[in-house]
Structure 1
Amino acid sequence: MAQPRDPDARATLRRGLPDRYLTPDDIAEIFGVPKETVYQWRKKRIGPSGFRIGKHLRYDPADVHTYVTSRKNSATAA
């Protein structure tokens, strides 16, 4: 049974990420960007780090949180 989706996925970053591995669709929804942007981030190694399980790309919520924190810290330092 599928869990209901948060109406404002970006709010997930403020409250904490889900306790499951995230898909590219989840990342795109959370950051409010097209899914193609998520794939470009991965290709350029500039977004949250992901990993493959077979042919499927997944993101660890802890890595996404670390990525967001590092981006916020670098923005504050600039």
Structure 2
Amino acid sequence: MAIHHQSITFGASLWSLPVRGSHLVGMNTHELGLEPLMGVEELAEYLGVPVQTIYDWRVAGTAPRAFKCGKRLKFAVSDVRSWLETRHEADR
């Protein structure tokens, strides 16, 4: 399999990185100023609910807001955190 290279300039230095899916492995999204995203399956697993529940909540308008990436939904960790906070029970 051929590996194509793309030059990316960061400040004064020039790095040549391979362009293929594996270049994302180990990428530190925080260094790039990007927030971690999770898919529907990951969100469902985190919340302990079936995947269908996430889709049902979206239809009802009660799910955390999401990004559409092609046909996939991605949820920002901060949006999930905010959404959960609105569902926190009041002190008794």
Provide the secondary structure at the position in 1 that maps to 2:64: coil
Alpha-carbon offset, residue 77 of structure 1: 6.6
Percent same amino acid at aligned positions? 28
1:12-58 CA distance string (max 9 Å, x none): xxxxxxx5211000110011000000111111111211120111111
Q: Note if 1:53 corresponds to 2:73.
A: no
What aligned pairs does 1:10-21 form with structure 2 within 5 A after superposition?
20-21=36-37
- Kindly tell me the number of residue pairs found equivalent between the two proteins: 61
Judge conservation of contact 1:42–1:50 (CA < 8 Å) in 2: no
Paired with 1:77 and 1:70, the residues of 2 have a C-alpha distance of 13
1:1-20 CA distance string (max 9 Å, x none): 778xxxxxxxxxxxxxxx52
Q: Tell me the TM-score normalized by structure 1.
A: 0.68
Gaps of 5+ in 1: 4-18
Provide the secondary structure at the position in 1 that maps to 2:67: strand
The one of the two structures with greater contact order (alpha-carbon pairs below 8 A, sep at least 6) is 1
What aligned pairs does 1:11-50 form with structure 2 within 5 A after superposition?
20-50=36-66
Code of the residue aligned with 2:81 in structure 1: it is H
Larger radius of gyration: 2
| Partner in structure 1 of residue 90 of structure 2 | 76
Looking at secondary structure, tell me which structure has more strand per residue: 2
**CA RMSD for the aligned pairs?**
2.0
Paired with 1:27 and 1:45, the residues of 2 have a C-alpha distance of 16
